[in-house]
């Protein structure tokens, strides 16, 4: 019994895919599912306007815009592995959920567009991965299009993200002249064959050793010569593939390919699965809790409201940290000390939500939330007393004043705003020395403003107007007893309090932070709230 649990946990891999919108994250995810046999045709995961909708398009607003606002989890089998992919919103207006999802992953795959290099959103998501010291694997996509010079791309990743790189394979040509990739370890060339179906079928790859006379014939004399030169340069200059550094997130193995045409996807998946580990221990009260050998425990990393509008349900997404979950088992919600049964546990299997009877450490389950869960909460067996480390509150970057249009609906308004904030979709602040009359909302991505407006109107029957505020940075005042009235140099700064009454300052730009610090001796400002 214990052995079978260990075996199940050992074959699990749980990772997030991060990228800037349009780099090809959805296409790559889809190809993984295709290779795993979870879907038969590519093009069925993501649906843009007027086409089939993506698996994760739960909310109406997503359907209307044809984008994915929420993050979803996909599970599929590949060879003997059970893979959990944590998908993150691909749109520019991503939210705090995207950050939180990274808390549930054991490693990340970073997709980069070969013609663009590292882009803004990748940098933000990368910072969260670095904070967690998780391994980061790079897939440089769209090699079938014109690409930047390969050495330049690697240099760009190293300089902008501050992580060392080690190419596991190396591209030969790009765009119309894309010939394939050279696998450094096996010294083989995987020849690229364009597939006319847009990549809906698995790719066929011709494999030839670089030392075989056929290799030069296959890619052409010029490309062959160039490749030999590049390999020499690379072998002399690049870092060795030090797996210890990879595990710490200090060195990123790099792969090249073209997700659209399937090229390089399977080799990437195979390398990736070999290089990654089964779920790692998580910290509870300063102690490591091993995934095997302990009973079920999990933490909540995301709360999703109204996935089914008719039922007005709330789903709490949990990452299982240890042991085996069985439907209807009695568990303890640590924060409230209440015993409960997790009802309607579900998983997203490629294209459908299904009720699960069992799940293991590394898996993500969504359970019905009767309104007791908060982000970061721990659930474990009644006999245990685990408490996993909380999830930081990420500093919002956009702010607006919320104006309620119908003052008669005060109660619904307050309830709605508070509930949505509790789910973690928005952060709310009150003007210093003002009542609840003046609410300021802070979000990580501006789409959350639309989500707030939409949900208040549709779920709470409250019309609101949002007045954008010109602030871009927020800092918590470390000493909560600080008298905000006595701060100097704050003419341009807004003083607010969060829902727990903690004092904060809103700044128009990063420069303003230093300005205030320079004028107030002993003032300490922090970027993350400790909960």
Give the x/- contact pattern for ligand G4P in 33-62, rule: CB under 6 A. -------------x-x--------------
Q: Does 276 bind ligand G4P (CB under 6 A)?
A: no
Give the x/- contact pattern for ligand G4P in 61-90, rule: CB under 6 A. -----------------------------x
Closer CB to ligand G4P, 24 or 36, in the complex? 24
| Helix, strand, coil percent values for the chain (each to nearest 5) | 25, 30, 45
29 is in an annotated binding site: no
Closer CB to ligand G4P, 142 or 453, in the complex? 142
- Which residue from 451, 484, 485, 486 is spatially nearest to 466, judged by alpha carbons? 451
Closer CB to ligand G4P, 121 or 378, in the complex? 121
User: Shortest gap between Cβ of 408 and ligand G4P (angstroms)?
Assistant: 43
**Does an H or E element contain 506, and which?**
strand 503-507
Give the x/- contact pattern for ligand G4P in 100-119, rule: CB under 6 A. --------------------
What whole-number distance in Å separates Cα of residue 201 and Cα of residue 263? 11
Buried-exposed string 77-86: b where 16+ CB fall within 10 A, e elsewhere:
ebeebbbbbb
Q: Does 138 bind ligand G4P (CB under 6 A)?
A: no
Phi, psi at 79, each rounded to 5°: 50, -125
- In three-state secondary structure terms, 270 is helix
Give the x/- contact pattern for ligand G4P in 250-269, rule: CB under 6 A. --------xxx---------
- Angstrom CA distances, 114 to 78, 174, 189, 254, stand at 27, 9, 20, 12
Q: Does 455 bind ligand G4P (CB under 6 A)?
A: no
- In three-state secondary structure terms, 528 is coil
Q: Which stretch binds ligand G4P (CB under 6 A): 22-30, 327-335, 452-460, 522-530?
A: 22-30
Q: Which residue in 25, 332, 453, 497 binds ligand G4P (CB under 6 A)?
A: 25
Closer CB to ligand G4P, 335 or 351, in the complex? 351
Q: Which residue in 9, 23, 109, 265 binds ligand G4P (CB under 6 A)?
A: 23
Answer left, alpha or beta for residue 286, where phi above 0 means left and psi between -120 and 50 means alpha: left
Q: Which residue in 8, 13, 16, 19 binds ligand G4P (CB under 6 A)?
A: 19
Phi, psi at 490, each rounded to 5°: -110, 20
Total residue count of the chain as it appears in this document: 531
Phi, psi at 62, each rounded to 5°: -65, -45
Number of other CB atoms surrounding residue 302 within 10 Å: 27
327 is in an annotated binding site: no
Residues that bind ligand G4P (CB under 6 A): 19, 21-27, 46, 48, 90, 141-142, 144-145, 258-260
């Amino acid at each position: 019994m214990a052995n079978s649990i260990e075996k199940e946990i050992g074959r699990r891999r749980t990772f997030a895919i991060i990228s800037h919108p349009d780099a090809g994250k959805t296409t790559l995810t889809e190809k993984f599912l295709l290779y795993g046999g979870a879907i038969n045709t590519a093009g069925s995961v993501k649906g843009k306007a007027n086409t089939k909708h993506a698996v994760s398009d739960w909310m109406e607003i997503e359907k209307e815009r044809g984008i994915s606002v929420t993050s979803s989890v996909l599970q599929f089998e590949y060879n003997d592995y059970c893979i959990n992919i944590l998908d993150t919103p691909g749109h520019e207006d991503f939210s705090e959920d995207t950050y939180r999802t990274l808390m549930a992953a054991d490693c990340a795959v970073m997709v980069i567009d070969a013609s663009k290099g590292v882009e803004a959103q990748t940098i933000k998501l990368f910072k969260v991965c670095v904070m967690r010291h998780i391994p980061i694997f790079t897939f440089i996509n769209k090699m079938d299009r014109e690409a930047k010079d390969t050495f330049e791309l690697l240099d760009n990743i190293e300089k902008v993200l501050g992580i060392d790189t080690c190419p596991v394979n190396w591209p030969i040509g790009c765009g119309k002249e894309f010939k394939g990739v050279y696998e450094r370890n096996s010294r083989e060339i995987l020849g690229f064959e364009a597939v006319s179906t847009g990549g809906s079928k698995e790719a066929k790859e011709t494999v030839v050793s670089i030392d075989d006379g056929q290799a030069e014939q296959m890619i052409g004399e010029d490309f062959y010569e160039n490749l030999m030169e590049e390999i020499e340069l690379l072998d002399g200059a690049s870092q060795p593939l030090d797996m210890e550094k990879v595990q710490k997130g200090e060195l990123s193995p790099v792969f090249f390919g073209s997700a659209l045409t399937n090229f390089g996807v399977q080799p990437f998946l195979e390398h990736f699965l070999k290089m990654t580990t089964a779920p790692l221990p998580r910290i509870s009260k300063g102690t490591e809790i091993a995934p095997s050998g302990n009973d079920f425990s999990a933490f909540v990393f995301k709360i999703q409201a109204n996935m089914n509008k008719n039922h007005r349900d709330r789903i709490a997404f949990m990452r299982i940290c240890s042991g085996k979950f069985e439907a209807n088992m009695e568990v303890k919600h640590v924060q409230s000390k209440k015993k409960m049964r997790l009802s309607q546990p579900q998983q997203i299997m490629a294209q459908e939500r299904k009720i699960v009877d069992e799940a293991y450490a590394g898996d993500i389950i969504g359970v019905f939330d009767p309104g007791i869960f908060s982000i970061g909460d721990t659930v474990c067996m009644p006999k245990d007393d685990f408490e996993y480390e909380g999830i930081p509150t990420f500093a919002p970057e956009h702010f607006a004043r919320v104006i309620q249009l119908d003052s008669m609906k005060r109660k619904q308004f307050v309830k709605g705003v508070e509930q949505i904030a509790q789910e973690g979709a928005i952060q709310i602040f009150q003007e210093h020395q003002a009542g609840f009359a003046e609410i300021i909302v802070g979000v990580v991505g501006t789409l959350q403003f639309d989500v707030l407006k939409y949900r208040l109107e549709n779920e709470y029957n409250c019309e609101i107007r949002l007045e954008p505020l010109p602030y871009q940075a927020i800092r918590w005042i470390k000493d909560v007893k600080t008298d905000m009235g006595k701060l100097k140099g704050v003419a341009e700064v807004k003083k607010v309090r969060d829902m727990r009454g903690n004092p904060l300052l809103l700044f128009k730009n990063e420069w303003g932070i230093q300005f205030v610090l320079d004028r107030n001796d002993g003032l300490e400002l922090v970027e993350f709230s400790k909960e």
